Amino acid sequence: MAAEQTLHWRGELREDEPMSRHTSWRAGGPARRYYTPVDAQDLSLFLQQIHPDEPLLWVGLGSNLLVRDGGFPGTVICLHTAVTDLEWLDTTTLRAAAGVTCAKAARVSARAGLTGIEFLAGIPGTIGGALAMNAGAYGGETWSHVAAVETIDRAGRLHTRKPAEYRVGYRSVQGPAEEWFLAAHFALSQANAEQAQARIRELLTQRSATQPVQQYSCGSVFRNPPGDHAARLIEASGLKGLRIGGAQVSEKHANFIVNTGDATAADIETLLNKVQGTVEQQHGVRLQTEVRIVGEYAAG
């Protein structure tokens, strides 16, 4: 089977790959298999040849993701190093592949004198992840500017879909089952390039001043509840700075959990659950996670 596969797909397949190398928390167990495709066509061939029941996990920069210490019992597909093309479909429509960083898409559009997605500069992930969760920051949301998306399904078939085919909400996107994003078409507006770039610099300065950007984290851990902010509730519960093992509620921003150097995934998840339970006990609000938690607990 393996010899037959190598005649078809051209990407790199690793076994027992530590996911601590591929998540922004720098924690987590191994993936049973880890595949980096060469391009979308190669990815299609790979998908056609894996078992239909094989668990799949798609990653970019590994932000907003916690892989438990027992690892992921399936195949991880990484798009960040391969599916990374950017192109202009017309004068105001930017096609950004799923592996492109949000920050790069924001910079390219601003330099071209177009506005709409400057807020993406403050999101530490890729376009694929931003599409999957309708990522937002500083008043902007990803799907507000999406004209179309390109996807790939479990059988390796490629699709182009319109936003109307998805149910999009706050940090939530529901669409056709067993399909994953390969690219977004962003509809942008003409603007002054210097002003757009200045806005990005302003957002990045604000982010650096208010978030622990020099430490390992996943970004915001919890969604903001209606009419409130998760960080305010966590801080009001006296949890800022709380530490379990190598995981700590950030002293700089209470909705961030940072790896101080030697945190396990179990440390992070235990602290997350502690924060969630304490806020609910003290304020009657059950915080919902933004971070996706996958995989198995370590044996013992």
The tokens describing 200, both together, are: 């990005």
Please confirm, yes or no, whether 290 is among the known catalytic residues.
Answer: yes
From the candidates 44, 217, 220, 250, which is the catalytic residue? 220
Main-chain dihedrals φ then ψ at residue 122, nearest 5 degrees: -95, 10
Report d(CA 21, CA 290) in Å as an integer.
Answer: 21
Bridge partners of 170, per DSSP, are none
The tokens describing 69, both together, are: 């210490």
From the candidates 68, 107, 171, 199, which is the catalytic residue? 171
Element (H, E) at 65: strand 65-67
Please confirm, yes or no, whether 220 is among the known catalytic residues.
Answer: yes
In the chain, the amino acid numbered 42 is D
3-state SS assignment for residue 197: helix
From the candidates 118, 150, 269, 290, which is the catalytic residue? 290
Please confirm, yes or no, whether 118 is among the known catalytic residues.
Answer: no
In the chain, the amino acid numbered 111 is R
DSSP 252: S
Please name the residue that has the structure tokens 């109307």.
164
Query: Which are the catalytic amino acids?
Result: 171, 220, 290
